[in-house]
Structures are given as C-alpha cells and as structure tokens.
Amino acid sequence: MSHKIKTLSEYFQEYQKSIDQPEQFWGQIAENFRWKKPWDKVLSWDFEGPSVKWFENAKLNLTENIFERQLPNLGEKTAIIWEPNDPKEAERRISYSELYELTCQFSNALESQGIQKGDRVIIYMPMVPEAAIAMLACARVGAVHSVVFAGFSSTALADRINDCQAKMVLTSDGNFRGAKNIAVKAVVDEALERTDCIEKVIVYQRTKEEVTMKAGRDVWWHEVIENESRSHAAASLDAEDLLFILYTSGSTGKPKGVVHTTAGYMVYSHYSFSNVFQYNQDDVYWCTADVGWITGHSYIVYGPLLEGATTLMFEGVPTYPHAGRFWEIVDKYKVNQFYTAPTAIRALQAYGLEPLEPYSLDSLKVIGSVGEPINEEAWHWYHDHIGKGKCPLVDTWWQTETGGIMISPLAGITPNKPAHASLPLPGIQPIIVDAEGEELKGNNVEGNLCIKFPWPSILRTTYGDHKRCKETYFSAYPGLYFTGDGVKRDHDGYLRILGRVDDVINVSGHRMGTAEVENAINEHPKVIESAVVGYPHDIKGQGIYAYAICDMEDNTQEELILQIKDTVRKIIGPIAKPDAVQIVPGLPKTRSGKIMRRILRKVASRDISNMGDTSTLLNPEIVDQIIKGAGL
Ligand code: PRX
C-alpha cells in the first residue's frame, strides 16, 4: 500500500501535514482500505468526556481488509509461519488463502456455537496460529475478543471474564512453553467455578493430554469446525464498534479493560507497522511477543496481516532448548525484521557471544525494541551483535492504550540515537508538561509525557467504566491524554522515555500495578499490611520488592516469604511474583497515613545515601529498622 515514508524530509513533510490537516491526512490514508460504506466525518473528539470517534458512520469489516482486499494479489503468499516450541516438531506455513478459509470456517463455528455480534469472547491460548484465527474470526463476526495471556492465574482469568461478562472461552488442553507443559484447560475449569456468564468453551487440542470436558459446555475445536463451510459473509460493522478489550494494570485497583474500536485501530496498526518496520513484500517479519499483550495484537496479527506481510509466530521461549534459539529461528526463516523486548536482549546478552556463533543473522535488515526503556548497554549489544552494526534499531514507545507505536525511529530513515525512542510518528502530538501541567517547550527539558491530539487507535474507554478512563488518562492534565511516563527531550529534539512516573512497575516489559500486587499479598492470612515498589533489576528492567507487616506467631520469616510469593503467583500469575519480600515491623507513613514510597524504593534499590526529608513521618524510627532489616 502507498503512504510509506521513504526519506527523512518526507517524514518531516508528512508529519507537518498530519498536524496542520489531521482529517485530510488520515482520510487519505483510510481511502486505501475497503469500506462497505464511507464515513461522514473523519474525526470528532473532545478529551473532556473523553469522546473520540474516527471515520464516523463508516461501515466495514477489518478482516475483509486482510483477505478480500488483498487475496487477488497475495493468495498463495505465506501469511503465518509458525515455529513450534520443540524444534523437532514440524513448522507450519499458512498462506493468505488458507488463513482466509480457516478464519471463515471458525467464524461459522463461532456463530453455530451461539456467538453474535457484540458478544465478548475470551481467548486464553498458546502461541499457535489458531490464536490468531480466533481473533480474526471474532473480528469477522463482530464479536469482541479479549485475549488473556495464558500465564495468568485462574483468579486473574475469572476477574477478566466477569468484568466483560464474556459468553465464551477459547482455550487449549495444554501449552508447551520451554521444558514445561502447562495444564491450561484445568486453569480455565478453575476460573469458571467463579463465573456464571460463560456458555461455551472451545478447546484446541495442542498437547493431547487428558482434560475434563464438561458436557454441554466444553467442545473440541476440531469437532466444531468439522462440518463448517470455508466461506463466510463478513459482518458489517460500524467504524466505532468494539474490536477488542485488552486488560492492563494501572496504579490503582484491578486491571482495566482497554477498549479499541474497529476502523481507527485498523488504520493505525497498519500505518505504524508499515512505516516503522519498512516492510517490503518479500520480507519475513518476526515479533517475539505473545498475542496476550498489545504488541502481539498490533504487530503479530493485525498490522502485519493488513500489510500482507509474512508474520512469524513462535510458540516457545528464547532459551529453549538452548540460548541460541532466537538466532537459530532468524537463520532458519531468513527473518528480515526482528522485534523483541529489552528484557529478552539482556537475558540473552548474559549468555555471552557463544550462543550466537553458529548463526549468520545475515538476513536481518531491521531490529526493534518494545515494552520498556532499553538501557544503552543492551542497545549497543543488540545493535552490534544482532544487527551487526548495519541494521537500524527501532526503539518503539507505545502502550496498550495507544494501540500502536507512537514514538519511534522509522527504520533506515530516522537517524539512530542509542536508547532514544526519538521522534513521534505522523499524527502523534506529544507534549511535555511539568507537575502543574505547564508545557515545557524547547529542547533539554524533562517532564511528564502527554499527547494533545487524538490518533486513530487511541483507547475509547475502559470497559464498563468510562469514569475510570477519564480519571486515569484525562484528568491529571485536563485536555491532554496522560501516558504515565516520564520523558526527556534532548538537545536535538529527540525523545527519551524515562519510565513510569506512577505506581506502575515494568517487569520484563510487563506492566504490574503495585496496588494489584499488594492486594494479592494481603490475601495471605498472616499479612497485616504490605507495600510494593519497583527496583532496578539487571535482566528484568525492574524487579518487584514487597514489604510486609505480618503476624509472626506460628511461622518463621523464611516460611512466610515463600508463602507470600506463592500467594501472588496463585492470585495473579508467575509474572507478578515478588523478587524480594522483606518482613518489616512497620511502614514509613506520613501524618496523613500515606506510605512514603520514596524511602521504600531507595532501600529496595540498595541506595540509602540520601534518604531525603523524613521529618514528616509519623514513625521516623522505622526507616532505620527497615534499612537494617534489608541488611544494609
Ligand atoms: O512505560 C512505558 C513502557 O511500557 C508501558 C506500556 O506498557 P504496555 O501497555 O504493557 O505496552 C507495552 C508494549 C507497547 C509504557 O507506558 N514502554 C513501552 N515501550 C517502551 C516503554 N518504555 C520505554 N521505551 C519503550 N520503547
């Protein structure tokens, strides 16, 4: 498709146009898509409500833009290459025409099993092509998918099912992940004991282990598709009909369901994919994320497929069966664009250069980073040893809520600057503000990152709770979307993301709300109060450090620490398990009862050189006790 920027001067021109005439800019881009009915108005918005509508009153189906629009040119081109967890198992290659047929067939199955437009469907599946087919089939029939990362616990899954009142769960018998085999169906069964809205569970057979199938509720994937036709008339959806809900953590309360709608998300996930990665028609593109996260939605499934790209899906983990697995896959499929997270890079960097030796990595043209700030050391290692100094490195900043990449170099076009997400994409208007909301203009400034104008894939609401959306993103600085991140604009005008400025921890590129982890810890019967903070961690970026006041009557500290970690694992999932737990006699509190987290962060970081002003503490003596307890 056109609208691919090719030079830096073109980028600046397009950027200016997108600011001066946003409606014309996006309207022209949207004309490349297939619409059942054109829009009346490109954009209506206010950030007070907030209310944002793109391509108002247009009708379309996103999957027609992947299939019907592109099949005449792409029919036999490979859409998805699937690499299994076990390298000895055969890979799969699915062409665009096969993917179309499989999507149609599963769309028919969804409808036969009672799914109608607007119903919510939970996808709790391994990284197999069927996960993508499930998403596409939902989009085709107009159902709203909500993918839940298959590493989340049954409690976390049940919370999400209940929050969106889903009607169906799509899952598998089990998951192969590295050396482990995870009994996914059993987790679903446990979750469903705490919900009453699920009518059907469709189970994809992956590991062939024995599972319990509840009569009348649970059906096998291969059985429900058996007699279904491989053609399906795509539902006509409104531009603003919900495409999906994706749950993400914030600084308060339970995870919220970020809502993305059809047309704007389609236009922006495609535009950003095409421009950031500079994909060319014969390229093989690989994003290592899981479809359970926004990166998997936008840059494994929707963006690449809307571009007609060959997108690689990998079921396993970077270190199984050996630490060179990623590089083996790059060589095996001659991957041209490779997109991963800094945490994976740091983990692999720790193995040294030996695992790289057998592989040429010659095919790579572009390498990318996402999910957390990339430190300069990891940036250089990635650039020098994986990109061999010749591949542009795109450090892409964005969020679940933004739906697509917001700030990033365009590969080979924007000059690279280590650890800088660099410049906004056309259509994106970042603004840096101080604590009072005053704009910090010019270069060499540091403050809070906000966006002052809507882009097509901005979240529309948080599911079932619009007030929460307003409070979380549009209230801190009225009239602006607040990202929760700190940022610096350097002397060249390049942006460097500094990390979260709220109570969100970024662990291995995954967002965890401190309140959410605290709530889980507090479920332990011996815990009286807890406080969780992040601290710098060599591999994960940030680690989770928990302080807990406990009733110590019948347990040793060691026992309690293990039990607390296990409680969090059970309630949220392994990704939220604290790296460190310190049992403390009290927490530093101000006279108004607020925990002074600054002190807890310093102790967790093992940096007690300057503890700042502690005179407003109700219990200043606790600081020394905590420091001592941490062995400092
Ligand atoms: O803090 C930023 C960090 O990840 C947060 C968004 O997390 P999530 O919604 O899970 O989406 C992750 C994948 C898009 C942001 O608020 N973040 C993401 N990308 C970067 C980043 N921080 C620095 N540099 C990045 N490239």
- CATH class in words for 8-61+249-499: alpha beta
Instruction: Report d(CA 10, CA 619) in Å as an integer.
Output: 60
**Predicted local distance difference test score (pLDDT) of residue 2:** 63
Ligand 1 center to 460 CA (angstroms): 19
Residues with CB under 6 A from ligand 1: 248, 294-295, 369-373, 395-400, 421, 483-485, 497, 499-500, 506, 511
User: Which residues of the chain does CATH 3.40.50.12780 include?
Assistant: 8-61+249-499
The pLDDT assigned to 252 comes to: 79
Please tell me the residue having the least CA distance from ligand 1 atom 18.
371
Give the start-end residues of each E strand in 237-309.
Answer: 237-238, 242-248, 256-261, 284-287
Q: For 113-220, where are the alpha helices, taking DSSP H only?
A: 129-141, 154-164, 184-192
Best mutation site among 399, 400, 473, 503 for ligand 1, i.e. most ligand atoms within 8 A of its Cβ?
399
Nearest CA residue ID for atom 8, ligand 1: 399
Residue 206 phi/psi, 5-degree rounding, is -115, -50
CATH topology of domain 504-629: GMP Synthetase; Chain A, domain 3 (3.30.300)
Q: Which residues contact 537 (CB under 8 A, 6 or more apart)?
A: 507, 543, 579
Give me the pLDDT at residue 3, please: 85
Our mutation pick for probing the ligand 1 site, out of 497, 505, 507, counting the most ligand atoms within 8 A of Cβ, is 497
Q: How far is the CA of 583 from the centre of ligand 1 (A)?
A: 31
Which one of 482, 485, 502 would you pick to mutate in the ligand 1 pocket, going by the greatest count of ligand atoms within 8 A of its CB?
485
Helical residues (DSSP H) of 45-119, grouped into ranges: 62-66, 71-74, 96-112
Q: Is the peptide bond before 321 cis (omega within 30 degrees of 0)?
A: yes
Neighbouring C-beta atoms of residue 91, cutoff 10 Å: 13
Q: Name the residue with tokens 């989770």.
A: 544
Residue-level pLDDT at 616: 87
| Residue among 583, 407, 401, 390 nearest 482 (CA) | 401
Alpha-carbon distance 584 to 343, whole Å? 30
* Residue spans in the chain of domains classed CATH 3.30.300.30: 504-629
Per-residue pLDDT of 488-512, as tens digits, reads 999 999 999 999 999 999 999 999 9
pLDDT at 1: 55
Structure tokens at 149: 């990362």
**DSSP reduced 3-state for 498:** strand
Cα–Cα distance between 180 and 374 in angstroms, integer?
29
Residues of the chain with pLDDT below 50 are none
Residue-level pLDDT at 488: 98
CATH number assigned to the domain covering 79-148+163-234: 3.40.50.980
Residue 368 identity = G
Which residue carries 């997270």 as its tokens?
341
Domain limits, CATH 3.40.50.980, in the chain: 79-148+163-234
Q: Which pair of structure tokens corresponds to residue 519?
A: 């709530």
**Separation of CA 529 from chain center:** 30
The Cα 163–Cα 194 span in angstroms is 12
- Predicted structure pTM score: 0.96
Q: Report whether 495 contacts 486 (CB < 8 A).
A: no
